[in-house]
């Protein structure tokens, strides 16, 4: 089986979607599927230099290959005319295409091309069909749907959702679709010897102070406008903790700066560490150090950061708009509540007041994630879906 994965960018600055495509490709390759990812060299939307990668030639990685194409024209929108020219010539060499992202010009054009070339394709919307997301730039998206995306949805062999909640609430614009609900996978972080202690020492965080970790893109949908006042309330009540904000936002640096300024002018400033983007050993060490992971998002089609925390054995505090909230609640892997400041205060208080229960829920989280979010199991589900479509 030869499968093509198409995504606007796999730069890690874009977060979970990029990691997911590479993780899926590697897992599929281990099951003897021949996988090629085609993507652009985009590396951020605010003037960052493009990825330093070879262009227009296959690059071997973990059993699969990636072909990068230069963003041109319209770099801001991660568009690549070269990618589409390549696809038109080579689509006939593949059995199926898995396209990641809607409302992205290169993905939309790729879906149309796949239809023209009679190559069956699956669309993964990345949460863009969520009513909350559709409200952003509403009129432009309505026009985009009428002109382009409704036809792409109608022509898709299936729509890949990562949770039942995402599938349930997603708009189809009158199109009847075949839905695949297959979650994202996570790789258990490599244990770093004394990683948690070293991270605390590095940033002057007392070893016995509960560490609350936010590790995700710093975006308006992530609920930081709920989390920061909730933490201020907890601090005023005498609650002892240290907050670590790990993440960045290359697409909206102004919002990232606003959050940093809010924290700098808050009583939390002496109880907060801001790390920026983290990966590798530092990311693993932060997860080892964390007592609680917090993400009160207004909407998340899956919540890859939550799954990463769970597989690392960290109990989670999330909103009921993170679409794996039901799994978290059913597996007793953390605490789930509404998107209000009061709810966030209540959930974190409940977690911090019972350290033993907190640790137990962390163990529950790890057990559940290892069983349900393993890439091997997800790859096998995906292969079955691919075979049925082919």
pLDDT of residue 46: 66
pLDDT tens-place string over residues 328-348: 999 999 999 999 999 999 999
pLDDT of residue 291: 97
What is the pTM for the complete model shown?
0.87
Average pLDDT for 353-370: 96
Domain ranges of the chain: 2-185+374-389, 195-372
- 3-state SS track over the chain: CEEEEEEEECCHHHCHHHHHHHHHHHHHHHCCCEEEEEEECCCCCCCCCCCCCCCCCEEEECCEEEEEECCECCHHHCCEHHHHHHHHHHHHHCCEEEEECCCCHHHHHHHHHHHHCCCCEEEECCCCCCHHHHCCCHHHHHHHHHHHHHHHHHHCCEEEECCHHHHHHCCCCCCCCCEEECCCCCCCCCCCCCHHHHHHHHCCCCCCCCEEEEECCCCHHHCHHHHHHHHHHHHHCCCCCEEEEECCCCCCHHHHHHHHHHHHCCHHHHHEEEEECCCHHHHHHHHHHCCEEEECCCCECCCHHHHHHHHCCCCEEEECCECCHHHHHHCCCEEEECCCHHHHHHHHHHHHCCHHHHHHHHHHHHHHHHHHCCHHHHHHHHHHHHHHHC
pLDDT tens-place string over residues 105-153: 999 999 999 999 999 999 999 999 999 899 989 999 999 999 999 999 9
pLDDT tens-place string over residues 176-204: 999 999 999 988 888 888 999 999 999 99
CATH topology identical between 2-185+374-389 and 195-372: yes
Percent of the residues in the chain that have a pLDDT greater than 90, as a whole number? 87
Q: Determine the topology of domain 195-372 in CATH.
A: Rossmann fold (3.40.50)
The mean pLDDT value of the chain amounts to 94
pLDDT tens-place string over residues 41-88: 998 776 778 899 999 999 999 999 999 999 987 666 789 999 999 999
Given a cut of 80, whether residue 220 has pLDDT beyond it is: yes
Q: Which of 16-20, 24-28, 120-124 has the lowest mean pLDDT?
A: 16-20
Determine the Cα–Cα distance for residues 72 and 92; give it in Å rounded to an integer: 24
2-185+374-389 carries CATH number 3.40.50.2000: yes
pLDDT tens-place string over residues 229-267: 999 999 999 999 999 999 998 778 899 999 999 999 999
């Amino acid at each position: 089986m030869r499968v093509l994965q198409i995504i606007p960018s796999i730069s890690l600055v874009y977060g979970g979607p990029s990691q997911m495509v590479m993780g899926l490709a590697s897992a599929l390759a281990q099951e003897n599927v021949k996988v090629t990812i085609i993507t652009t060299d985009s590396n951020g939307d605010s003037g960052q230099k493009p990825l330093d990668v070879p262009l227009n030639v296959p690059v071997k990685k973990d059993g699969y290959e990636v072909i990068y194409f230069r963003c041109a024209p319209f770099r801001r929108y991660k568009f690549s005319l070269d990618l589409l020219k390549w696809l038109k010539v080579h689509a006939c060499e593949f059995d199926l295409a898995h396209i990641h992202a809607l409302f992205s010009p290169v993905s939309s054009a790729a879906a149309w091309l796949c239809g023209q070339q009679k190559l069956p394709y699956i669309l993964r919307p990345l949460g863009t069909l969520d009513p909350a997301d559709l409200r952003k730039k509403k009129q432009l998206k309505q026009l985009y749907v009428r002109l382009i995306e409704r036809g792409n949805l109608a022509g898709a062999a299936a729509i890949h959702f990562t949770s039942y909640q995402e599938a349930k609430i997603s708009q189809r614009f009158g199109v009847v679709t075949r839905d695949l609900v297959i979650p994202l996978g996570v790789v258990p972080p490599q244990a770093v010897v004394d990683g948690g202690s070293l991270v605390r020492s590095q940033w002057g965080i007392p070893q016995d102070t509960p560490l609350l970790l936010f590790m995700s893109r710093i975006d308006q949908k992530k609920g930081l406008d709920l989390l920061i006042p909730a933490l201020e309330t907890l601090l005023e009540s005498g609650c002892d903790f240290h907050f670590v904000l790990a993440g960045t936002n290359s697409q909206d640096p102004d919002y990232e700066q606003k959050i940093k300024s809010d924290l700098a002018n808050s009583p939390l400033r002496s109880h907060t560490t801001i790390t920026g983007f983290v990966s590798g050993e530092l990311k693993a060490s932060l997860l080892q150090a964390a007592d609680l992971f917090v993400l009160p998002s207004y909407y998340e089609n899956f919540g890859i950061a939550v799954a990463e925390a769970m597989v690392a054995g960290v109990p989670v505090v999330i909103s009921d708009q993170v679409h794996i909230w039901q799994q978290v609640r059913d597996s007793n892997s953390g605490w789930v509540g509404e998107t209000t400041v009061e709810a966030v205060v209540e959930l974190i208080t409940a977690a911090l007041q019972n350290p033993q229960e907190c640790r137990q829920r962390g163990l529950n989280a790890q057990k559940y994630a290892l069983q349900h979010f393993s890439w091997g199991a997800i790859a096998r589900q995906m292969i079955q879906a691919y075979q049925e479509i082919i």
